[in-house]
Homo-oligomer: A and B are copies of this chain.
Amino acid sequence: MLEGMHAFDVLGDPVRRRILELLAEGERTAGEVTSVIRAEFGISQPAVSQHLRVLREHGFATVRPEGTRRLYAVDPGPLREVDAWLERYRGFWSQPLDALATELARGARERRLAERRAEDEADGTGQERTA
């Protein structure tokens, strides 16, 4: 129902893409998201809530309760995976300079991740994935 979904399936829905765009501008409460989506797509509150759930359960968004509200924010994990998948095709439109830039970025990213991993092992705060 939802576990069989791949990252691209999640992004396949225009409502979910729009929600992500909203969250990209900063944290939003479920209610704020709902009213925008409701206005733009004409769907019900439960429908929006279900989309938020899909985003949550596939790691595209995190939630933080604040009183009676729930604050949603972008979790970039899966988007990075998409970005990585695209890597294979960048050569089709990238000229040498682009490729260099991409390599630079990739290298920097990986170096940084390696450092973080090292730190995590050092301080040993067993951080949970938000799953």
**A108's contact among B76, B83, B85, B98, by CB below 8 Å, is which?**
B98
| Majority SS at the chain A contact face | helix
Q: How many angstroms between the C-alpha atoms of A21 and B108 in the bound complex?
A: 26
The answer to whether B108 and A24 have CB atoms under 8 Å apart is: no
Known: A8-B12, A11-B8, A88-B21. A98 touches B105 (CB 8 A): yes
Q: How many angstroms between the C-alpha atoms of A92 and B24 in the bound complex?
A: 9
Nearest residue, chain B, Cβ from A23: B89
List the number of copies, as a whole number. Answer: 2
Does A79 sit within 8 A of B, measured CB to CB? yes
Q: How many angstroms between the C-alpha atoms of A85 and B14 in the bound complex?
A: 13
Does A50 sit within 8 A of B, measured CB to CB? no
Of residues 3 to 57 in A, which have CB atoms within 8 Å of B's CB atoms?
6, 8-9, 11-12, 14, 17, 20-21, 24
A96–chain B nearest beta-carbon distance, Å: 9
Q: A9-B12, A74-B89, A79-B89 are in contact. List 7 more A-B contacts (CB 8 A).
A: A20-B89, A24-B88, A76-B92, A82-B86, A83-B90, A95-B109, A101-B105
